[in-house]
Amino acid sequence: MDIKQAITTRRSVKHFDPEHVMTEIEINELMEHAILSPTAFNIQHWRFIRVHDSKKRQEIQDASWGQVQVTEASLLLVLCADLNAWEKQPERYWREAPDEVQGYLLPAIENYYTNHHQAQRDECIRSTSIAAMNIMLMAKGMGYDSCPMDGFDFDKVAKIIKLPHDHIITMMITVGKKKQDARPRSGQLPLDKVFLTDSF
């Protein structure tokens, strides 16, 4: 499947075949492509929690107001991010870069994020959102469907996955074999209403 087809046919599927099992090879392939998504300063602060345990899946479904895709999907991912990744050994993000690049970027990371809490949070949301699109398009290319989710109690899910205090959850994604098609697109805005040049 080429990229244009993946984009045009990707839909948010709500009903999956609960009997289908993704192989470990498929899951690893999917996630190896997720981590190729870009992050500011290459800090790679996303963390992807695969919820496999059936009891935890049910708890998360309960925290998602009963949405069945949480337990029916072959794969449930909770997309999280480390708010403080920028200060946790940042040299590892540039360990293979030339010395002059490291000498410029490492102080730049510190200067940009220190006491800039909104930027720390914003980068987490931006980066996990980009990774989410990689996941969904890669899944489509592999013959799977997906659904991004924010309809859940974030605090409850954080407790279920034992989220560290300096991390945030940005969304969940379900992946699997669809059992039922998504509804037709319900009201796509025309391009000229959202794509502008130079200013509003």
Predicted confidence pLDDT, tens digits, the chain (200 residues): 899 999 999 999 999 999 999 999 999 999 999 999 999 999 999 999 999 999 999 999 999 999 999 999 999 999 999 999 999 999 999 999 999 999 999 999 999 999 999 999 999 999 999 999 999 999 999 999 999 999 999 999 999 999 999 999 999 999 999 999 999 999 999 999 999 999 99
The Cα–Cα gap between 178 and 20 comes to: 10
What per-residue confidence (pLDDT) applies to 139?
98
Confidence at residue 135, expressed as pLDDT on a 0 to 100 scale: 98
Looking at residue 144, its pLDDT comes to 98
Is 155:57 a contact under the CB 8 Å cutoff?
no
| Whether 80 contacts 164, CB under 8 Å | no
CA torsion angle 178 184 186 187 (round to 10): 120
**Could you tell me the pTM of the whole model?**
0.96
Give CATH superfamily name and number for 3-181: NADH Oxidase (3.40.109.10)
- Domain map of the chain by residue range? 3-181
